Amino acid sequence: MSEITPDLVRHLGVLARIQLDDAEVTRLTGELDAIVDNIAKVGQVARDDVPATSHPIALQNVFRPDEVGTMLTTEQALQNAPDADGGRFRVTAILAEEEQ
């Protein structure tokens, strides 16, 4: 059994700025206690002679060759654009001007 107490859960709630009622404190005390106990069990079986792994099998990146393909012309790229200007897409400004 770990050392998770209702007072510790209340303190964690204050640190996280979460208001907890008594029912939530009771529920979280049990849940956090179970989590800490399970982490302790994993720590018991972890050995120094076993390398840490992030995946059970080795991963390998698969890259395709970087080859030049056919490209759209400017007219083709802009043909369905709702608004264009000078060979560029025209979009609504998303940054507000600073008010003076």
d(CA 14, CA 8): 10
Summarised one tens digit per residue, pLDDT across range 60-92 is: 888 989 899 999 999 999 999 999 998 999 988
Q: Give the DSSP letter of residue 5.
A: -
Summarised one tens digit per residue, pLDDT across range 24-58 is: 999 999 999 999 999 888 878 877 787 777 888 88
**Secondary structure of 36-93 in HEC code, one letter for each residue:** HHHHHHHHHHCCCCCCCCCCCCCCCCCCCCCCCCCCCCHHHHHCCCCCEECCEECCCC
d(CA 25, CA 33): 12
Which residue's entry shows tokens 């972890």? 46
Q: Is the pTM of this model over 0.75?
A: no
